[in-house]
Amino acid sequence: MSRMQRTKGACGEREVCRAIQDQLGVRLIRNLEQSRAGGYDLIVHPEDVGPTADALRRFAPEVKRHARATAGLLAQWWTQATDQASRAGLIPVLLYREDRSDWRVRVPLSVLHPQLRAWEGIEWTADLSLLGFATVIREAA
């Protein structure tokens, strides 16, 4: 991975952290062990407590910034998110943004409809706005 890609990725992660804090009042921080351990990108700040912070702790966020989010890239990113979440025993969540676009959030359908089992594969996901994702988290808290 080039230095420019790492910088763009880190900037994207910080953007998501600010957006989640603005929407939910919970601080996310970059998971600095991610590159060493192959883990997910963000974690809830250890000092943040409460139902909303607890709801967010169930997820393993993977953040992607790219010029275009093609179907092929989304499938690749989703596979990465699910692999990392599975290793951590958490729910995958993919937060992505194309250049000059708003953040989008991809979650398993079971996040929206808990009676559904968590099927694998991108075809069993929902794509939400960041506000939509924040609403789901707030309602689950």
Query: What is the predicted pLDDT for the residue at 10?
Result: 86
pLDDT of residue 4: 65
Q: What is the pLDDT of residue 65?
A: 93
For residue 132, the enclosing domain spans 3-140
pLDDT at 68: 95
Give the per-residue pLDDT at 9: 78
Burial call 32-50: b when 16+ CB within 10 Å, e when fewer: eebeeeebbbbbbeeebee
Q: Give the count of domains, the chain.
A: 1
Give the model's pLDDT for residue 126. Answer: 96
Local confidence pLDDT in tens for the 141 residues of the chain: 566 666 777 899 999 999 999 999 999 998 876 555 558 999 999 999 999 999 999 999 999 999 999 999 999 999 999 999 999 999 999 999 999 999 999 999 999 998 888 777 899 999 999 999 999 999 987
Nearest-CA neighbor of 42 among 54, 56, 24, 22? 56
Helix (H, G, I), strand (E, B) or coil at 101: coil
| Alpha-helical regions (H) of 61-129 | 71-88, 109-112
Q: What is the CATH number of the domain that holds 37?
A: 3.40.1350.10
